Amino acid sequence: MSALTGPCGLLLAAGQARRFGADKRFARIDGEPLLLIAARRLRAVLPDTLVVLREGDDVLAELLAAEGIASTRCPQAALGMGHSLAHGVRQRPDVDGWLIALADMPHLAESTLTRLAESLRHDVIIAPSLNGVRGHPVGFGRDYYEELIALSGDIGAKPLLKRHAARVTLLPVDDAGVLEDIDTPADLQVLAATRFG
């Protein structure tokens, strides 16, 4: 087994985006695809960033590769976020932890990502909070590897967070991006105007 190398950034981008009505990963903000913006931000802090895609996502894989960003395809992505998360963690078994980010949250501040990454320890679960509300991304230390790779279904890591609620550390931040996700075209218009307009 190789030596531990610090935390890995894991960007989950294999969802179906049913509420958006189209593949929102290609939706443009300031001329750039949403997925690429989120991946660049995470990779700027964590050079070992891995994007989890669906089978058949050749175009997105090529876009990411052109930026030097690694990706992996999850064969069970259609079964839910838990499968995608478990698949991604399995691809990076020897890191110190995983900072799990979502592809539809492109407005995270680099300072937030940096603080979360620096706070990850082997036994830590950490998440940002804005005005007392827990947001994303969520970091898991390597002690949670076996539980992470056992996740399935469509609720991501919620069972793990509930099981270890007493061990979750909330990091207060002044970053609205930890709560801002894009579910609909209207969300995209509002956030693009306020953040990039």
- CATH placement of domain 7-196: 3.90.550.10
Domain boundaries, the chain: 7-196
Predicted TM-score of the model (pTM): 0.91
Helical segments of the chain, H only: 34-45, 58-66, 81-91, 110-119, 145-149, 158-163, 185-196
Which pLDDT score is estimated for 38?
A: 95
The string of pLDDT tens digits covering residues 117-138 is: 999 989 999 999 999 999 999 9
Alpha carbon distances (Å) from 189 to 24, 38, 55, 109, 152: 12, 17, 29, 19, 32
The string of pLDDT tens digits covering residues 125-181 is: 999 999 999 999 999 999 999 999 999 988 889 999 999 999 999 999 999 999 988
